[in-house]
Amino acid sequence: MSLKFPAPLQEATLIKRYKRFLADVELADGRVVTAHVANSGSMMGLNEPGLTVWLSRSDNPARKLPYSWELVAVGDALIGVNTAHPNAIVAAAIKDGRVPELAGYSELRREVKYGANSRIDILLQEPERSDCYVEVKNVTLAREPGYGEFPDAVTARGTKHLHELANVAARGARAVMFYLIQRTDCHSFRLADDIDPAYAEAFDRAKAAGVEILCYDCHISAEEIRLGSPVPIIPRFPCDPL
């Protein structure tokens, strides 16, 4: 299974991104429209004016902005920028048996309340087994060829999620941090600890508490996005393998 776009995406040229959730783009017919950007990160390296982007269009009359920014091309790579998609991509892959590390659960629930006023992205359950809590993070940053990185900005929310997962693991349930690289040009993953040292510290504490770390890449086209293969996680220090 995969995330299929309900209609063909429209190619456009990026003019600028601003106010985090807005981007002005020029369509193929020369019209300039404002698209919604479902991404709260910095989108470092993906915001340069002139980049080719792909948009989806909604016919919902209640929407103020019918267009949404879905993909961007950087060099030969396609990158998925819509952070509303990763949870659905991972959930569909788990149901389809494409994530062997998370196989063997008969029930999959999404956005379940847990911890201190949080919601887990995916909760896997099976009688006679401990519950499995899966948090999904979207990876779009690549400052060096081949290396996907997270985060691309300081993320207090992401740090909170690591603390919550560590607490889950301490209680004896499974806790999994799942990094989804929505880029077609990355063969490895590492933390961007220079961007957010607090997140990197929380990552280390969570891993020491028993939180499992998974990372997969994606196959991306203008028709669909689907889960790819496991990607190795590169240690930040040679003496501290992940």
Query: In percent, how much of the chain has pLDDT > 90?
Result: 89
Whether 239 has a pLDDT exceeding 50, the answer reads: no
The Cα 122–Cα 108 span in angstroms is 7
Domains belonging to the chain, first-starting first, are 3-80 (2.40.50.580), 86-230 (3.40.1350.60)
The pLDDT assigned to 168 comes to 96
pLDDT band at 166 (very low <50, low <70, confident <90, very high): very high
Mean pLDDT computed over 84-89: 95
Q: How far apart are CA 138 and CA 225, in angstroms?
A: 13
Is the predicted pLDDT of residue 86 greater than 50, yes or no? yes
d(CA 178, CA 188): 14
Instruction: Give yes or no for residue 150 having a pLDDT over 90.
Output: yes
CB atoms closer than 10 angstroms to residue 144: 10
Q: Is the model's pLDDT at 35 over the cut of 80? A: yes
pLDDT band at 236 (very low <50, low <70, confident <90, very high): low
Report pLDDT for 238: 42
Check residue 31 and give its pLDDT: 96
Instruction: List the beta bridge partners of residue 107.
Output: 125
Q: Share the mean pLDDT of the chain.
A: 93
According to the model, what pLDDT value does residue 118 have? Answer: 86
Q: What is the mean pLDDT of residues 15-26?
A: 96
Q: Which two tokens stand for residue 36?
A: 């919604």
> pLDDT, tens digit, for every residue of 100-122?
999 999 999 999 998 778 899 99
Please, which pLDDT band fits residue 7 given cuts at 50, 70 and 90?
confident
The pLDDT tens digits for 176-225 are 999 999 999 999 999 999 999 999 999 999 999 999 999 999 999 999 99
Residue 89 clears pLDDT 90, i.e. is over it = yes
Residue type, 180: L
Measure the CA angle with vertex 123, ends 120 and 127; round to 5°: 150
Quote the percentage of the chain above a pLDDT of 70.
97
The arithmetic mean of pLDDT across residues 54-61, rounded, is: 92
What average pLDDT does the segment 45-73 reach?
95
